[in-house]
């Protein structure tokens, strides 16, 4: 851990010792929320003077530019013909040990329990045997607990890896309670919500993209996800089919994944192929969100809802299902509306209500932005992670 003495300009005799940590971060590099949160956290930590080392099998999705204090270490899996399947978890452990040793890391922070927490535990045991201890923190993001972790064959391993973590965090109160209940864990789990860059994701009147997607002045509904079945993207298309009967509307779908083909098929079946715009994976999310009127999230499982927060920060009201941590983010009849899973009629009704009531829409838009700024700004949340790191290191 680095200590830097900073001179106070107003009181030259006063010196403050600032602790800069060397942190290893492991996450999935894909388009999903856990990888986005982990990458954005690392970038924010680096901007605050900490040294961050990403360890993964590919470059994280949002690590797309040079940033001082940020390093990437690629995990290479063995191609030895004896092994029929990839040994990623063991290769990850080996890379963790290498980076911990040669970069002199203070702490490992892994995102998603399987297999990252297990690999970190193995690395910790190797270091302990060599009398060179390392601590690690596990952040739980959702499906590692509510889906993958509930597989009978995985449950003992997930429970063990969480209990053996030196610290554990969850991205919502819902996920914390779900973890404690499902796995019968007595370990303390800290709730640290996901965060947003309120400057990057901010409302703007200049939306050139809107003219391209809604050239005839239609209203625009937007959805962002990794197109897994659990996201119920087809529900968004069915909502559009009902809304269009009263309001000229387009639906913009951002992302890609296993359910995209089914979504494209449904759009053709409902004769909506000209009204549903598939953009695929995109980095220009603020521009797309600001070209929209409503964000829709009909998921059947959602531990937090990071993409909904990004929309709220742009002043876009959210229509969501009532599952998981979404009610902790989206406040019913204030920042948007909440409906039961699969209640397409009610979601359509709420959407029409907002799109036809300018005064209510403006109020919800302001409330959404205000909530994002007040509770989920990066300058509020990231220091909580730093504080938690220091707490764990002091144990």
pLDDT one-digit tens code per residue, 219-276 = 999 999 999 999 999 999 999 999 999 999 999 999 999 999 999 999 999 999 999 9
Q: What is the CA radius of gyration of the chain?
A: 22
Structure tokens given for 175: 């996920």
- Residues for the chain: how many in total? 395
Region 45-74: mean pLDDT is 92
Quickly list H helices, 108-147: 118-129, 143-146
Transcribe 298-349 into DSSP letters: --S--SS-HHHHHHHHTT--EEEES-TTHHHHS-BTTTEEEE-TT-HHHHHH
Beta bridge partners of 321: 339
- Tell me what pLDDT residue 91 has: 93
Count Cα atoms within 13 angstroms, Cβ side, for 289. Answer: 27
Beta bridge partners of 381: none
CATH architecture entry for 2-194+378-393: 3-Layer(aba) Sandwich (3.40)
Q: Residue 325, Cα to own-chain centre: how many angstroms?
A: 12
Taking the C-alpha atoms of residue 295 and residue 336, their distance in angstroms, rounded to an integer, is 9
> In which element (H, E) is residue 252 found?
strand 249-254
Q: How would you list the strands of the sheet with 318-321, edge to edge? A: 276-280, 249-254, 219-224, 294-297, 318-321, 336-339
Of 315, 144, 351, 74, residue with least CA distance to 237: 351
Query: Do 310 and 196 touch, CB atoms closer than 8 A?
Result: yes
CATH architecture entry for 208-375: 3-Layer(aba) Sandwich (3.40)
Count Cα atoms within 13 angstroms, Cβ side, for 296. Answer: 34
Query: Do 119 and 93 touch, CB atoms closer than 8 A?
Result: yes
64-85 per-position pLDDT tens digit: 888 999 999 999 887 766 666 6
Count Cα atoms within 13 angstroms, Cβ side, for 226. Answer: 15
What are the sequence ranges of the domains in the chain? 2-194+378-393, 208-375
Taking the C-alpha atoms of residue 320 and residue 322, their distance in angstroms, rounded to an integer, is 7
Task: Give yes or no for residue 145 having a pLDDT over 70.
Answer: yes
Query: Do 321 and 340 touch, CB atoms closer than 8 A?
Result: yes
Region 80-107: mean pLDDT is 88
Taking the C-alpha atoms of residue 267 and residue 261, their distance in angstroms, rounded to an integer, is 10
pLDDT band of residue 148 (cuts 50, 70, 90) is: low
Beta bridge partners of 20: 2
Whether 208-375 and 2-194+378-393 are alike in CATH topology: the answer is yes
Q: What is the DSSP letter of 106?
A: S
Cβ count within 10 A of residue 192: 19
pLDDT band of residue 283 (cuts 50, 70, 90) is: confident
Transcribe 37-84 into DSSP letters: HHHHHHHHHHHTT-EEEEEESS--TT--S--TTEEEEE------TT-S
14-29 per-position pLDDT tens digit: 444 458 999 999 998 8
Q: Which stretches does DSSP call E strand in 13-89?
A: 15-20, 22-26, 51-56, 70-74
Task: Give yes or no for residue 149 having a pLDDT over 80.
Answer: no
pLDDT band of residue 9 (cuts 50, 70, 90) is: very low
pTM passes above 0.85 = yes
3-class DSSP assignment, residue 79:
coil
Count Cα atoms within 13 angstroms, Cβ side, for 204. Answer: 17
pLDDT band of residue 212 (cuts 50, 70, 90) is: confident
């Amino acid at each position: 851990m680095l200590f830097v003495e900073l001179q106070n300009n107003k009181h030259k005799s006063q010196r403050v010792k600032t602790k800069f940590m060397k942190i290893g971060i492991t996450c999935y590099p894909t388009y999903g929320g856990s990888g986005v949160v982990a990458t954005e956290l690392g970038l924010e930590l680096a901007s605050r003077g900490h040294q961050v080392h990403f360890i993964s099998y590919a470059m994280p999705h949002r690590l797309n530019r040079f940033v001082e204090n940020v390093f990437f270490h690629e995990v290479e899996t063995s191609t030895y013909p004896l092994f029929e399947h990839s040994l990623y978890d063991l290769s990850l452990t080996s890379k963790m040990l290498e980076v911990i040793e040669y970069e002199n890391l203070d702490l490992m922070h892994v995102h998603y329990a399987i297999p990252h927490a297990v690999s970190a535990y193995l690395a910790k045991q190797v270091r302990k045997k060599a009398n060179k201890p390392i601590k690690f923190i596990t952040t739980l993001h959702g499906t590692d607990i509510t889906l993958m972790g509930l597989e009978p064959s995985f449950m003992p391993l997930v429970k063990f890896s969480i209990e053996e973590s030196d610290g554990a965090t969850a991205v919502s109160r819902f996920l914390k309670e779900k973890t404690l209940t499902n796995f019968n864990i007595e370990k303390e789990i800290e709730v640290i919500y996901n965060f947003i860059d309120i400057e990057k994701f901010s409302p703007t009147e200049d939306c050139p993209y809107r003219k391209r997607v809604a050239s005839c002045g239609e209203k625009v509904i937007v959805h962002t996800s990794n197109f897994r079945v659990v996201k119920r993207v087809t529900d968004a298309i069915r909502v559009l089919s009902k809304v269009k009967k009263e309001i000229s509307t387009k639906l913009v779908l951002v992302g890609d994944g296993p359910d995209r083909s089914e979504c494209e098929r449904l759009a053709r079946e409902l004769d909506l192929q000209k009204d549903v715009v598939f953009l695929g994976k995109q980095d220009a999310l603020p521009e797309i969100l600001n070209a929209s009127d409503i964000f829709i999230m009909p998921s059947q499982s959602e531990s937090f809802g990071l993409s909904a927060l990004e929309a709220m920060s742009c002043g876009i009201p959210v229509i969501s299902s009532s599952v998981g941590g979404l009610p902790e983010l989206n406040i019913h009849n204030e920042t948007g509306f909440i409906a039961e899973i699969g209640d397409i009629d009610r979601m359509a009704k709420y959407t029409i209500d907002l799109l036809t009531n300018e005064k209510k829409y403006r109020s919800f838009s302001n409330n959404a932005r205000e909530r994002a700024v007040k509770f989920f700004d990066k300058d509020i949340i990231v220091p909580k992670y730093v504080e938690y790191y220091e707490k764990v290191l002091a144990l």
